Structure 1
Amino acid sequence: MNAPRTIAGGTLAADPRLITKILLGINAAVFVAILALNDEFVTHLMLVGAFPPPEFGWEPVMGVAAGEWYRLVTSMFAHQEFLHFASNMLLLWWLGGPLEAALGRVRYLALYLVSGLAGSALTYVVAAPQQPSLGASGAVFGLMGATVILLRRLNQDLRPVLVLVALNLVFTLLAPRIAWEAHVGGLVAGAVIGYAMVHAPRGRRALVQWGACGAVLAVVLVMIVVRTMALT
């Protein structure tokens, strides 16, 4: 008997929240490790472009511009404050389950990771080189963007999720110490990838879906390379 299919063409897993649970577990484990270890540990995880700033002329310099590209990924799973961690994980659980069930595990994971990278890349490009940033907000905003697209595709009521997006954007712009760049970058990337995943024609579904992920990744890579060249 054939396995049931999701709206995006993937296979509906027995546990529709498996990847969401794994992502929650990784974030929780990193959060506990940060609390247990000293500040030097989180310093190696957070996103920072270049510190000290290039104009200072001091050596050594740490950050993405110094070749530490891994920070674009590790910062997506790092949180220092409980409220920040709890709010991101609550949104991940609320939004992630339905998206994982609709898209399938692999596509859902691609959406999460590429959206998070897009948020990190925009932060790296726009924020001051020495400004630190961390948190899963870019990836979570990507889930928000994809959720809007999915609900519209299914002709569901958009008002609850639109209110959620609007409130989060207002909070992003008004609250201090919030990396709005990660939120905006993740939201846009999530909406683009989500559109490709739920609107891809059946005959070219995989090509369109993975092509969209590849295109967003290509834009992210160009942004990172250009910014690195400007800082070095």
Structure 2
Amino acid sequence: MEQAPGSPQEPREARGGNGSPDGGAVAPGCYRHPDRSTGITCTRCERPICPECMVSASVGFHCPECVRGGSGTGHAPGANRPRTVAGGTLTADPRLLTKILIGVNVAVFVAAMVVGDRFVNALDLVGWAFDPGALHVVGVAHGEWYRLVTAMFLHQQVMHIGFNMLSLWWLGPPLEAALGRVRFLALYFLAGLGGSALSYLLAAQNQPSLGASGAIFGLLGATAVLLRRLNYDMKPVLILLGLNLAFTFLWPNIAWQAHVGGLVMGAGVTYAMVHAPRGRRTLVQAGACVVALLVIVAVVWFRTSQLTG
């Protein structure tokens, strides 16, 4: 991709990492997190840094120590405020939103176990209305749009929520650190809504759909895009993605539509976030999120018109 004048250059690879002159040397670990291999170095001190530590600069990326040490450059206070690779503000706890999302999912799961089917029926993408002598489907097509969101947090089986929350704990913190909290939260909800919308569009009208899997697949797609942007080794995430897609289509009773919708939405939104030009980064990122939301609304409106027209 061509760069506009003044935009940040592509991050440099660490010496001895992938693409270095000596070939297949293993990438070094981040100097603050030695267990995290990385191909990126600080453009000032050339120490290896991971996505959580890298601070976007006018040229490449800086480590936190170099940013703090460069406060006396004559800029106004806050002008050189540390930023993530996507332009977000660095935070002391890059796992905060991930932990909150896991807490919300677990709380909803416990409520579903305590209250029972009435609770699930009210929050699932598809519900059932019990009239005297009749049983009929209710849901988004009947004006209950909130189900597109509530279904993202609803689980019924321990294995289902366990797998999803383990994936969220593994994928969430690196993305939250690399994107920043606001962008990460936008990614999570847009991916989840994208999964709900595609399931609503393509699945049978009476097919239930619930779980955080759409959002999780969105985070998986986002991880692939971020690793590609940082020139990291893509093989592990591609293998994981392939296994999850195979599981999606081969295992019975899985709403593959939610997985695919979340994956596509998550990858698309993240691509816009990490490739936005630095001078117009916030505008491009906000615009991409608005467009993604409008696409979701259009899909839901189209399906609703089919079912009620």
| TM-score range for the pair, normalised by the shorter chain length | over 0.9
Contact 2:128 2:135 in 1 (8 A): no
CA distance in 1, matches of 2:91, 2:113: 34
Query: Which protein has the larger Cα radius of gyration, Structure 1 or Structure 2?
Result: 2
Q: Which of 111, 117, 122 is matched with 1:33 structurally?
A: 111
Report what 1:131 is aligned to.
Answer: 207
Q: Which of 278, 298, 307 is matched with 1:222 structurally?
A: 298
Report what 1:80 is aligned to.
Answer: 156
More helix by share: 1
Relative contact order: is structure 1 or structure 2 higher (C-alpha 8 Å, sep ≥ 6)? Answer: 1
Deviations for 1:144-172, whole angstroms, at most 9, x for unmatched residues?
11100100111111111111111000000
**AA matched with 1:144:** L
**AA matched with 1:47:** L
Shift of 1:51: 5.2
**Larger displacement relative to structure 2 (121-130 or 207-216):** 207-216
Instruction: Tell me, yes or no, if structure 1 residue 43 matches structure 2 residue 121.
Output: yes
Shift of 1:59: 7.6
Q: Which of 74, 79, 95 is matched with 2:171 structurally?
A: 95
**AA matched with 1:32:** V
Report what 2:180 is aligned to.
Answer: 104
Q: Which of 246, 251, 269 is matched with 1:170 structurally?
A: 246
CA distance in 2, matches of 1:114, 1:9: 19
Q: Which of 198, 204, 209 is matched with 1:122 structurally?
A: 198
Shift of 1:31: 0.6
Report what 1:55 is aligned to.
Answer: none
Report what 1:161 is aligned to.
Answer: 237
Shift of 1:32: 0.8
Contact 1:51 1:129 in 2 (8 A): no
Cα RMSD, aligned residues only: 1.4
Q: Which of 76, 81, 84 is matched with 1:6 structurally?
A: 84
Q: Percent identity?
A: 65
Contact 1:17 1:97 in 2 (8 A): yes
**Larger displacement relative to structure 2 (36-45 or 173-182):** 36-45
Contact 1:142 1:190 in 2 (8 A): yes
Contact 2:121 2:128 in 1 (8 A): no
Which segments of 5 or more consecutive residues in structure 1 lack a partner in the other structure? 53-57
Which segments of 5 or more consecutive residues in structure 2 lack a partner in the other structure? 1-76
Give the TM-score taking structure 2 as reference length.
0.71
CA distance in 1, matches of 2:240, 2:167: 10
Contact 2:137 2:206 in 1 (8 A): no
Moved over 6 A (4+): none
Report what 1:150 is aligned to.
Answer: 226
Deviations for 1:46-100, whole angstroms, at most 9, x for unmatched residues?
112x758xxxxx6865111111110000000000001110110011110000000
Deviations for 1:119-142, whole angstroms, at most 9, x for unmatched residues?
000000000000001000000110
Give the TM-score taking structure 1 as reference length.
0.94
Instruction: Mark the CA change 1:44 to 1:121 in structure 2 (over 3 Å): closer, same or farther.
Output: same
